Structure formats: structure tokens, C-alpha cells
Amino acid sequence: ETGVTQSPTHLIKTRGQQVTLRCSSQSGHNTVSWYQQALGQGPQFIFQYYREEENGRGNFPPRFSGLQFPNYSSELNVNALELDDSALYLCAIMEGITGANVLTFGAGSRLTVL
């Protein structure tokens, strides 16, 4: 087990709806990142939160937004869902190992948009 828990594991939405995905870690890491992984592709960086503030963002529109809470759990919100939003959404915490910053991922939330 990675210690990163994501919910829900699977969900189905229709185009135009909104979705909230959740992430928590056992040790309460203060840095959390979200990635989108379309089928057959590598993960793509959405954004990162550090101590409740967004401090980095990839090429995703504003309808992708997030929150990080004082206990360092996090949410990813997607508004006005489009068919292309169908993907595995991964939450990751950053862990230092002898100076490195390794991303440790959760199992992901599989979103299907119909």
C-alpha cells in the first residue's frame, strides 16, 4: 500500500456535469499533485498544492480546480465535463529520499464521461 488513498475508485458522469475527486495520505504530506492519465498515455500534470496554495499548474483550463485542506487532504474539481475528460485521475504526494523528490501515487479515480 502506498499510503495515498483516493476516492471514489470509479465513477460515471454525463457531459456538462461537475465532479469532485478526493485524496488523502496517511502521513499528512504538505505537497500534493494531481495528474490526468488518458487511456494508453502517460500521466499529465494538472497542478500542485503546497500548504493549501496552488504553486504550479499544467496546461489545463480553469474548469479544473483544486483544494488542499489544513489536514493536507486534497480535492480535484472538474466543472462542465467534456468527453475528453474521461481518464484515470492520479493524486501523488512528494517524498524525499536522500535528496530526491519521489512522487508516490494513489491507485487513482477512473472517470468516465458519457
Partner 1 sequence: EDQVTQSPEALRLQEGESSSLNCSYTVSGLRGLFWYRQDPGKGPEFLFTLYSAGEEKEKERLKATLTKKESFLHITAPKPEDSATYLCAVNPAGTYKYIFGTGTRLKVLA
Considering the complex, what minimum distance in angstroms separates the CB of residue 16 from partner 1? Answer: 27
Among 24, 74, 106, 111, binds partner 1 (CB under 8 A): 106
Residue 108, CA distances (Å) to 18, 61, 79, 85, 99 in order: 18, 21, 19, 14, 26
Query: Where in 77-96 is the site for partner 1 (CB under 8 A)?
Result: 90, 92, 94
Between 16 and 56, name the residue whose CB sits nearer to partner 1.
56
Considering the complex, what minimum distance in angstroms separates the CB of residue 28 from partner 1? Answer: 18
Q: Tell me if residue 84 falls in helix, strand or coil.
A: helix
Cis bond upstream, residue 70 (ω within 30): no
Considering the complex, what minimum distance in angstroms separates the CB of residue 108 from partner 1? Answer: 5
Strand partners, 91: 34
Q: Binding mask 25-64 vs partner 1 (x if CB under 8 A, - otherwise)?
A: ------x-x-x----xxxxxx--x------xx-x------
Amino acid at 6: Q
- How far apart CA 101 and CA 55 sit, in angstroms, is 16
| Residue closest to 90 by CA, chosen among 26, 41, 51 | 41
The contact set with partner 1 (CB under 8 A) reads 2, 4, 31, 33, 35, 40-45, 48, 55-56, 58, 90, 92, 94, 97, 100-108, 110
